[in-house]
A and B are shown apart, each in its own frame.
Chain A
Amino acid sequence: MCEGVKMNIGLLLSAIIDGLTYAAIIYLIAAGLVIIFGLMDILNFAQSAFFMLGAFLTISFLYTLTENFILAVLITTIIGFAIGLLIEIVLLRKTYGNPASQMLITLGIMMVIIQLAIVLWPMGLVFPLRDPIFVGVIKIYDTSIYVYKFILIAIGFSIFLILHSILNKTLMGAKLRAGIENRELAEIFGLNIKRTFTLAFGTGTAIAFFGGAIASPLLNANVEIGSSFALLAFAVIIIGGMKSHTGAFVASLVVGLIHQLSAYFFPALTFVIDIALMILALLFKPEGLFGFEE
């Protein structure tokens, strides 16, 4: 404990709520990463750029098209899905069987999106709506906490439950899981691997856009939000296992809480602790907590 920081229950509670909020945001980036990596072996570097673009798009829709937040989020998510499909069909399909160059392409996409965002919105965008749901606070133990944080946490958890049940209960999920476990065998048993890849990439992208959209009331939109969360999302998929959806969720909780607790109580070491955790996980359990050996 640093000197000068008095441990009290309100501060701790605030840190935990912030940690859970972070966990929800990180999970929404990492979920797409694990689905895409699990199926296609691509480490999608553009995921955080998609997240950032989602925040930018939502806020610009709120300025120009509609006052309705839910509608803006919906439009952003649909656009994200379309962009994912387009990128998969136009760019990635040409380089199937060569994960290294697919990774390089996603790196290029990331760079183009970030640079375009710098050109289009050099000062960033501020979330415009001032409804009580976005700016209202709850007072617990003398600490004010934004109501919207609780909503964000709830959305994160429900997205996990929805994705979990899609993966485990539906036919589509069974196909995806089959592709993740053993791609060649699934192909032999008649899985249309191209369509599955396209769908997976589109879904992963859409989740990232959705994440950016619903996080925009808290984070606003600027060019930096992508890069800091990208690092945390990478830490999450390393710790949780590169191909495990449940692992990503659990690791998001761990990383989000540790990140915020360290930010509250050891501010000089904020990111260093997360990265140290990730390096330890890589050294001692390279396949991740929930990963399976290939």
Chain B
Amino acid sequence: MAYMKELMNRIMSNLNVFLIIAILFVLPALISSPYWLSVFSIALIWAIFAISYDVIFGQAGIFNFGHTASFGAAAFIAGYLTHTGFPFILALIAGVITGAAVSVAMGLPARRVKGVYYAILTLAFAEALRLSIENLSRYIGTSISISAGYPPIVWSREFYYFNITIAFLLFVVMLLGLIVRIKSLNRISIGDLLSVLVSTIVIVITLYGVINLLSGRFIYGFRIITVNFYYLTLILFLFSYYLTKRIIYSPVGSVWRAIRENPTRTEVLGYDIYIYSLYALAVSGALAGIAGSLFASVTIINSDTAFSAMNTIIVLLSVILGGAGTLIGSVIGMLIIQILRYLLASAPLLSHASMAIIGIIYIIVVLVFPYGIVGTWYFKAIRLRRKIMKILSIRIK
């Protein structure tokens, strides 16, 4: 009984997280167009990549401008393995190992090469990979590209029902959490009322979504592929996010932030900066490997899609836009960029200028909000937040 109570407390303190995850799990039932669902899957893949960049750039403060090398190498390896018929999980593991290995290899000169020099070095490393593959394809006379296609798991109905089960479990947990919360309230404030209201709405939406998904509308034709692939990216995204969060709030993460703030002092305190930087690069490379392995399923992998310097710039942009070092900021930034990109792509006049517009937004953010969206909310909007908290805590008699 005590165990149940402990569990309930845990769920209640993280109720907001559960609400967001539940919405994400029933999203296929809420978005009617398969196009936007696949856009969202791609955005989630890029979000994993953005998380990986936030680990090195936002947490450890390493200027790695060739991060796309790990992403692209993983995409090549995983795409090749999927293409030749290996199960997706093996391809994923191979991709993760490749990503981490490439990232660490790029970090080996970091003991002597620092700052701007390191940025140029890594940029050159990624470009060298891209250009040597291009040279090689010119040399052997055929273009080197892999189109792996979706992994076989997206065809399975079991996977589909497994995800509905998770959505249903989330529904049950949220319902229990809401009941416990309502029971424990004695004097109600506006904030409590609001949170109960929002939770109720989300719970109803979740129930609607689960019923809708169970109706079998989605398990025919191409829809099951889109929906299942979305679930695959979602699960890997949640896994990566949780793992990264655990790592950056562990003692290792504190050392990374210390290196970012003041490397000399960290060194004097007895930490080996080099080893910790390599550790950050390995974690980040592994995450980029996850993103790359998924990326191989949605696009044709060649020297340009895998190793283009634009990939690094896009993740850098998302990290800056959301706020470097805030983790959730990189995810929000990337979702904004990707959704904006596809929204503009369907607009008549702006279809090709989307990245230019995103670039202009990015310059404005660097100038006006140097901490990014989430960072400004955390560090700069203290007064506004206090005001909101004050309004929320007014009691209702």
Given known A111-B356, A119-B356, contact A270–B131 (CB-CB < 8 A): yes
A-side contacts of B138, CB under 8 Å: 267
Instruction: Encode A240-253 as 1/0 by CB contact (under 8 A) with B.
Output: 00100000000000
Given contacts A101-B370, A116-B356, A268-B139, 16 further A-B pairs with CB under 8 A are: A95-B367, A111-B359, A112-B359, A115-B353, A118-B352, A119-B352, A119-B356, A231-B124, A268-B132, A270-B131, A272-B132, A272-B135, A275-B128, A278-B120, A279-B109, A282-B117
A283 at the B interface (CB under 8 A): yes
Which of B119, B355, B367 touches A105 (beta carbons < 8 Å)?
B367
B-side contacts of A37, CB under 8 Å: 116
User: How far is the CB of A111 from the nearest CB of chain B, in Å?
Assistant: 4
Q: Could you pull out 14 A-B pairs where Cβ atoms are within 8 angstroms?
A: A43-B116, A95-B367, A109-B359, A111-B310, A111-B355, A115-B355, A115-B359, A234-B124, A270-B135, A272-B131, A272-B135, A275-B127, A279-B121, A282-B113
Q: Which 9 A-B pairs have the closest CB atoms?
A: A115-B356, A112-B359, A111-B359, A108-B363, A271-B131, A275-B128, A115-B355, A119-B352, A268-B139
A-side contacts of B112, CB under 8 Å: 282-283, 286
Q: Are A269 and B124 in contact (CB under 8 A)?
A: no
User: How far is the CB of A56 from the nearest CB of chain B, in Å?
Assistant: 15
Report Cα–Cα, A50/B84, bound state, in Å: 44
State the B residues within 8 Å of A (CB).
63, 109, 112-113, 116-117, 119-121, 123-125, 127-128, 131-132, 135-136, 138-139, 309-310, 313, 316-317, 320, 352-353, 355-356, 359-360, 362-363, 366-367, 370
Q: Is the interface of A mostly helix, strand, loop or mixed?
A: helix
Report Cα–Cα, A235/B123, bound state, in Å: 11
A-side contacts of B123, CB under 8 Å: 231, 234
Q: Is the interface of B mostly helix, strand, loop or mixed?
A: helix
Q: Are A105 and B363 in contact (CB under 8 A)?
A: yes
Count contacts between A and B, CB distance < 8 Å: 109
Which of A103, A104, A275, A283 touches B125 (beta carbons < 8 Å)?
A275
Given known A112-B360, A282-B121, contact A101–B116 (CB-CB < 8 A): no
Report Cα–Cα, A119/B351, bound state, in Å: 9
Residues of chain A from 227 to 273 with CB closer than 8 A to chain B in the complex: 227, 231, 234-235, 238, 242, 267-272
B-side contacts of A238, CB under 8 Å: 117, 120
A-side contacts of B109, CB under 8 Å: 279, 282-283
Q: Are B117 and A286 in contact (CB under 8 A)?
A: yes
A94 at the B interface (CB under 8 A): yes
Give the nearest-CB partner of B139 in chain A: A268
A-side contacts of B367, CB under 8 Å: 91, 94-95, 105
Give the nearest-CB partner of A117 in chain B: B356
A-side contacts of B316, CB under 8 Å: 104, 107
B-side contacts of A98, CB under 8 Å: 370
A-side contacts of B119, CB under 8 Å: 43, 103
Which of B124, B135, B320 touches A279 (beta carbons < 8 Å)?
B124
Q: Are B320 and A112 in contact (CB under 8 A)?
A: no
